[in-house]
Amino acid sequence: MLIDAWNYILAHPTQFWRALQVHVMLSASALAIAAIISIPAGIAVARRSGVSLAVVNVANIGRTLPSLAVLALVMPLLGTGFAPALFALTLLALPPIVTHTIVGMRGVDADAVDAAIGMGMTRSGLLWKVELPMAVPMIFAGLRTAVVQVISGAVLAAFIGGGGLGDFITAGIAMMAVPQLLVGAIPVALLALGTDFLFGVLQRRLTPQGLRA
């Protein structure tokens, strides 16, 4: 079956690479937009106990929604195609990133913060030189969770005309063609594993030396 899947790719290279490109673009765009929204928002509310608790609770509710349900909810509002799929995947990526950002910022060592303030560090210096470096491991944990969810969830974008590798999977299921299904499923799995590994390397490199396990 793997050989048949490979032969299918060789027979339809343009179709495969176009689908792969759309899948990567859809996933990367959703993750980038979610990170741009979630990380600053998480930092802003982290020190406000009541607000941060409310945000975390709302985010946790969002994490319980199935990916297909989110896609189905946006379809009546935005129609079909790339844009509604991007919107739905961004919604899926927001909860883990904002939750981990808040937890990471609230988990910063209070003694380190007091010492920095005692040395006359400004609020912006405290954020960039103390709090964010110490929160990096938790923030990246949220990004790694989100990226796996987005890459796998992007498969379902095929149901609303979003394109991507999900087109091969849905077509393979519809026609009971396992090789065609594998043409979509295997690259998605490799993308998720590879991106998670890459983010793990970045997480380790950006984590201060003293905090590395």
Mean pLDDT, range 23-43, rounded to an integer: 94
Which of 112, 119, 147, 111 lies closest to 133, judged by CA? 112
Enter the pTM of the model.
Answer: 0.86
Residue 202 scores a pLDDT above 80: yes
Residue 60 lies in a domain: yes
Ranking 81-85, 95-99, 114-118 by mean pLDDT, the lowest is 114-118
Domain hosting residue 12, numbered range: 2-108+135-205
CATH number for 29: 1.10.3720.10
In a domain? residue 39: yes
Mean of pLDDT over the chain: 85
Q: How is residue 129 annotated by DSSP?
A: I
In a domain, 20, yes or no: yes
Residue 115: inside a domain: no
Return d(Cα 23, Cα 26) in angstroms, integer: 5
> What pLDDT is attached to residue 143?
94
Q: Is residue 126 part of a domain?
A: no
Mean pLDDT, residues 58-69: 72
Q: How many domains does the chain have?
A: 1
120 found inside a domain:
no
Average of per-residue pLDDT across 153-164: 85
Q: What is the pLDDT of residue 54?
A: 80
Residue 17 within any structural domain of the chain? yes
> Above 80 in pLDDT, residue 116?
no
Is residue 94 helix, strand or coil? Answer: helix
Structure tokens at 187: 């690259």
* Burial of 94 (C-beta count, 10 Å sphere; 0-12/13-18/19+): buried
- 118 within some domain: no
